[in-house]
A and B are shown apart, each in its own frame.
Chain A
Amino acid sequence: MSGILFLIPIALFMGLLGLGAFIWAVRSGQFDDPIGSANRILIDEDEPL
């Protein structure tokens, strides 16, 4: 029983972390061009890493 006292807050905290990352991604425009993003991974960079 005492376990859920810290397990629930931890679960919620991790959930919030994910939500925060999602909000950041939306705000920084990462969902503005889904077609472009899907295509950009196919472009080969000429320069060697």
Chain B
Amino acid sequence: MSSSDVLAHTRDWSLGDAPDQDSPFGGLSAFVQKSGKAQHLELHVSGAKCAGCLAKIEKSVGALDGVSEARLNLSTGKFNVTWQGSLPASVIAETVSGLGYGISAAAETDADEVQRKEERELLLAMGVAAFAAANIMLLSVSVWAGAGEMGSNTKQIMHAISGVIALPAVVFSGRPFFRSAWSVLKRGRANMDVPISLAIILAFAVSVVETIRGGEHAYFDAAAMLIFFLLIGRFLEARVRRRACSAANDLAGMSSRAVTRIDCDGNAIKVNPGVVAPGDTILLAQGERAVVDMALSDEFCELDESLVTGESAPHLLSKGMRIYAGAVNLSGPVQAKALSRASDSLLADISRMLDAGEQRRSAYRKIADKAVALYVPFVHSAAALTFIGWMLAGASFRESILIAVSTLIITCPCALALAAPVAHVVAAGKLFQLGIFLKSGDALERFASVDRIVLDKTGTLSLGVPQLSDATDERTISDAALLARSSRHPLSRAISDAAGSGPIASNVQEIPGCGLEATVDGVLWRLGSGRWIGVNRGETHTRNLYLQRGDETPVALEFADRLIPGTEDAIRQLEKAGYETEILSGDSNERVSEVAKELGVSRYTSAASPRDKAAHLEVLREQGHKVLMVGDGLNDAGALSLAHASVTPGTAIDISQAASDAVYSGGITSLPVLLKLARRTRSVMLENFTFAALYNLVAIPIAVTGHATPLVAALAMSFSSVAVSLNAIRLAAFSEGK
């Protein structure tokens, strides 16, 4: 989905509400839907995980003036609020974000709606199939138990009732299989649904004919049971897939922030990013993220570009320089001229890279698909040969077709269809307990085949937040903190964090892009960039700050980006497990090499742009590497989606989370566990497939020789399905130590 499509789904943009201009959530008013007096807003809450979160969020918002309904869906993160009166939308968002949760407008897309419908339809189909399977089995058991004693009329009545119950199951519940089988057959190919559909339809048709003719066997129970077992697998798959919120969806949330445009008469209005044209003047408030690329019109501006470039230090821009979409303004409000439309900006560029990556990934062939490719021709020729063989041996047409159909039924890939989804669901549940949130089932297979791990630096290996280095002496810190405590700049925060709580100098002036100054004990103190203080004029990246007290020589305060605790250990474990590791960062060479040396990683690339990162992954792919990409920033999103498999920390921005296969909390310490469990899951799946193959080796001779009565078919099918499920459940016993 292109970003212009995304924007087409957002509604009612024209509003330029004045009351909540100052709030970072001011743009939300554009998403409110009005029906009569009631107003409705759909938001996306991130970070809510438990009953406590749920109660806190719903209660705080519910207590706001005029709110009649506040309901959070924990499975999808959607938060629906309905209220009456003059409550501004921004207050709702601020309430939630004040509790410590991430919040953005949810742009409901078609893909979302389609997935929701699909899941509901599968659930209904499963219910109907379960009803049919259970009730037919009730009748079938009496037929089997009464063998030899039950009169043929009674048996015929039993079969007829079974047929009536099976009809809705086949017609309604069988549709997902028929539809999928038909769509691939039209293109001249076959998938697992072709033998399934064939088995269901033939089993039903033959049973109807047999019932009418008063025959010995009817396979209605097999048909209904088959549908029920297979739908379980299908439903589990759909549920895992829906949990994986689509990349396009979250990107919509990101670019659906309203933009403040200054009109020719100097009025500021909030507009849809989609209507911003090159040349428009945009006001970028403090802390606001740029949605389009623009050129700075004011003198100075300090930006946090860590999401765009991976560079951890704030970047100082002077007039005319380019502000990339995704950068956050750290200084006071600035004006800038838009250079492009939202659809041409870096953000949109990255979204296109994501689309490309997702298409590539859907072309990945799952183990189950490979198994089916071997299996389908085998089973079908076995059934055809059975039919021909019995005809040649002198059996009647009716007898031959009955035996051929029973071969198809008994070999139907129930176990095959359950082997992968059950293992995926159990493994995903296990990972969830370990703090890893899996986004797609087949990702586990890709994790299992990884041989190289490419790591981003900022936010993945290191905290991504500047920390004051240990070299600074106590007095300098406490003096600098006098000024720093009054500022929200990340470097100032690092100083006040290091100094702890304490006094604040009065009348601290913040000079955007330069630093802070105040008069302490009658002397002018300045804390700021080297360029401003008068040392190190050439520096554009303000990694160091200087403190000047009156006429004293300025003292440098050095900042470092610390490693996340446990990272070193995790890297060592990964190396020991045989993975090659590599650092790929947008940060400067000096800092990347420092981190690489500290971690003992020999391969590293620095100063890589988002495009470089994507290109690097392409190169690795051509060399035959199966790459696991770990990264968090906007600059990694393209690379994340292009990699063979990808994971991202929970602190990453939405779009990177959407682009990756799994999200973990904490440091990369969970990475070795994830990879180990992925390998275990793959081996369990392979065991399951082996079992399914063995099962067929036994079942086919029984069926071909004409011994597959409905009772044998029912026993064999249930036994194989239960066996693979139980084997998959063994994964739940996985522990980190093993």
Contact = CB atoms under 8 A, between A and B. Distances in A.
B124 interface: yes
B161 A8 contact: yes
A32 B51 contact: no
A12 B135 contact: yes
Contacts of A35: 74-75
A23 interface: yes
Size category of the binding interface on chain A:
20 to 34
B123 interface: yes
Interface residues of B, number: 23
A19 B116 CA distance: 21
A11 B73 CA distance: 37
Contact of A26 (B51, B55, B120): B120
B73 A36 contact: yes
Contact of A42 (B51, B76, B128): B51
Q: What DSSP secondary structure best describes chain B's contact surface? A: helix
Given A36-B75, A39-B51, A39-B74, A11 B120 contact: no
A16 B135 CA distance: 10
Interface in A14-40: 15-16, 18-19, 22-23, 26, 31-36, 39-40
Nearest to B73: A33
Given A11-B138, A43-B54, A34 B75 contact: yes
A26 B561 CA distance: 50
Contacts of A39: 50-51, 54, 74
Contact of A19 (B51, B54, B127): B127
Contact of B127 (A22, A32, A34, A41): A22
B101 to A, nearest CB: 15
A12 B595 CA distance: 69
Interface string B59-90: 00000000000001111100000000000000
Nearest to B432: A35
B55 A33 contact: no
B128 A19 contact: yes
A40 B50 CA distance: 9
Nearest to A44: B55
A26 B127 contact: yes
B134 A15 contact: yes
Contacts of A31: 120, 123
Contacts of A1: 154
Contacts of A43: 51, 54-55
Interface centre among B51, B116, B165 (most CB of A within 10 A): B51
Given A26-B124, A39-B50, A39-B51, A16 B131 contact: yes
Contacts of A11: 135, 138
A35 B127 CA distance: 20
Contacts of B165: 12
A5 to B, nearest CB: 10
A30 B245 CA distance: 20
Given A8-B161, A15-B134, A18-B131, A32 B123 contact: no
Contacts of A23: 124, 127
Contact of B51 (A8, A16, A40): A40
Contact of B135 (A15, A26, A32): A15
A34 B76 CA distance: 10
Contact of B75 (A18, A26, A33, A42): A33
Interface string B239-276: 00000000000000000000000000000000000000
A39 B55 CA distance: 10
Nearest to A43: B55
A22 B124 CA distance: 8
Contact of B54 (A8, A26, A40): A40
A40 to B, nearest CB: 7
22 contacts: A8-B139, A8-B161, A11-B135, A15-B134, A16-B131, A19-B128, A19-B131, A23-B124, A26-B123, A31-B120, A32-B73, A32-B116, A34-B75, A36-B54, A36-B74, A36-B75, A39-B54, A40-B54, A41-B51, A42-B51, A43-B51, A43-B54
Interface of A: 1, 8, 11-12, 15-16, 18-19, 22-23, 26, 31-36, 39-43
Lowest 9 A-B CB distances belong to which pairs? A36-B74, A39-B51, A42-B51, A35-B74, A19-B131, A33-B73, A22-B127, A43-B55, A33-B75
Given A19-B127, A32-B73, A36-B72, 8 more contacts: A12-B165, A18-B131, A19-B131, A26-B124, A33-B74, A35-B75, A36-B74, A43-B51
